[in-house]
């Protein structure tokens, strides 16, 4: 019996995931010697609050990053306090984007106040990189304002010769590789 293309792709994907799990479990991660413009950052989302969140943050800190990105869905509780107590030790090095569980009830205001955000989407530069935090949870009609912000921000970033990298982060998984000739 000759397997069909779909089952071969599924098998390939499963083997790839197993291989990556093996590598991450049994192979030590060693950082290369860094150039002056290089830096490390880490990102994690869907934290919860408890021992798994503590383990996640402990692993992140062990990598000695200069910047931490939170990808949303932090504590699944009615308060941000438990999660904030876990990550508070790194202060302003922690940047967030909000997930659907972070905008319910008073949580949105609490996160916006804690991280001094005016909007759920924003951007910042760190060394030779530009970071853009987008929201998947903006109110109806807010998508257009966010899109306008993104377009303006990308145009400004494109003109900045000191920026080599642009990193966009938000709560849902998405990977897109674009050529440098992308027209905005």
Q: Domain for residue 63, yes or no?
A: yes
In a domain, 46, yes or no: yes
Cα(88)–Cα(91) distance, rounded to whole angstroms?
5
What local confidence, expressed as pLDDT, does residue 5 receive? 62
pLDDT at 166: 94
User: What is residue 141's predicted lDDT score, i.e. its pLDDT?
Assistant: 78
The whole model's pTM is what? 0.74
Q: What pLDDT is stored for residue 75 in this prediction?
A: 86
CATH number of the CATH domain containing 74: 3.60.21.10
Q: Are the C-beta atoms of residues 165 and 130 closer than 8 Å to each other?
A: yes
Q: How many domains does the chain fold into? A: 1
- Over residues 58-73, the pLDDT tens digits come to 999 999 999 999 999 9
Distance CA 167, CA 146 (A): 16
Which regions in the chain score pLDDT beneath 70?
A: 1-34, 37, 173-184
Question: In which element (H, E) is residue 85 found?
Answer: helix 81-87
Inside any domain, residue 182: no
User: What stretches of the chain adopt beta strand conformation (E)?
Assistant: 41-44, 67-70, 94-96, 122-126, 129-133, 165-169
Q: What pLDDT sits at residue 105?
A: 87
In a domain, 184, yes or no: no
């Amino acid at each position: 019996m000759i397997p069909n293309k779909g089952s071969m792709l599924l098998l390939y994907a499963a083997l790839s995931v197993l291989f990556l799990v093996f590598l991450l479990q049994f192979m030590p991660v060693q950082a290369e010697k860094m150039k002056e413009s290089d830096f490390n950052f880490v990102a994690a989302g869907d934290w919860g609050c408890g021992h798994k969140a503590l383990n996640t943050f402990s692993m992140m800190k062990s990598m000695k990053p200069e910047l931490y990105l939170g990808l949303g869905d932090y504590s699944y509780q009615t308060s941000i306090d438990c999660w904030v107590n876990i990550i508070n030790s790194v202060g302003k090095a922690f940047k967030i984007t909000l997930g659907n569980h972070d905008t319910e009830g008073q949580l949105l205001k609490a996160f916006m106040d804690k991280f001094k955000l005016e909007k759920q989407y924003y951007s910042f530069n760190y060394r030779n990189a530009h970071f853009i935090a987008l929201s998947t949870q903006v109110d109806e009609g807010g998508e257009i304002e966010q899109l306008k912000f993104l377009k303006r921000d990308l145009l400004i970033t494109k003109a900045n010769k000191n920026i080599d990298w642009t990193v966009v982060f938000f709560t849902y998984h998405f990977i897109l590789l674009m050529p440098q000739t992308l027209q905005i």
